[in-house]
Amino acid sequence: MNRINGQIILASASPRRKELLHQVGLSPDIIPSQREEKIISRDPEQTVKELSRQKAEDVAALCTDRKDMSVVIGADTVVAVDGRILGKPGSEKEALEMLELLQGREHQVYTGVTMIFVHSGEQITFAERTNVHVCAMNQEQRKAYVATGEPMDKAGAYGIQGYFAVYIKGIEGDYNNVVGMPVGRVCRELMARGWKLF
C-alpha cells in the first residue's frame, strides 16, 4: 500500500537529487525551473537558500491547479573555500584551478532547500553545511581527474560519489548534502507535517 501522502515535484533536472529521493522511496515528478538564477549575496548559505527559493517558486507557480498534497522542492548546492563560492567550472582550466584550491585542505559544501506545499501555501527554506577534507593532490592527479569529465557539471569541480572519492579524507556532516540534497532533513520536514513515508 502506498503510504506517501502526496506527490513530490522536484524543481531540478539533477539526476543525483532524483536518485537521493528514490533512495528513500520517493518518486518525484521532474519539472526543472526555467528561471534565470540571480545571486544577490556573497554569503554561501544565503546564496543557496535564495537560489533554491527562486527555483521552487518558479515551479510552484505552474502547479497552483493541483488539488492533491503536492510539495515542490527546489535545491541548490555550492562549494565554498574561505567563504569564496565555487560554482560549476566553465572549462577544464577552471576545473583544475578549483581542484588546486581544494586539494590538501578543508572546504564547505552548502545545499539550500525550499519546500512549497501547494495545497496549503506553506513555504520553508533551510540550508545544510558539510565540511569536506580533501587529500593532497599533485598536478598529474588533478589533470587525470579532470580528464574523466566528471568535474564539469558539478559545483566545486568534483563529485564525492564518483572517482573523486579516492581523494576524500573525511567529512563532518551529511554526506548526501554533498551529493546534492540533505534528503534526511527533507524527509523529517515532511514527517513533521504528517506525511507517512515508505
Convert the pLDDT of each residue in 2-27 to its tens digit: 457 789 999 999 999 999 999 999 99
**CA–CA dist 42, 45 (Å, integer):** 9
Active site residues: 76
DSSP 8-state code for residue 106 = E
Cell 556532516 belongs to residue: 173
Helix intervals (H) in 116-171:
139-147
Regarding predicted confidence, which is higher, 187 or 40?
187
Contact 33, 22 (CB under 8 A): no
DSSP characters for 56-77?
HHHHHTT-TT--S--EEEEEEE
Q: What is the pLDDT of residue 3?
A: 57
- Strand, coil or helix: 180: coil
**CA–CA dist 5, 19 (Å, integer):** 20
Convert the pLDDT of each residue in 54-65 to its tens digit: 999 999 999 877
Cell 598529474 belongs to residue: 140
Q: What type of residue is 4?
A: I
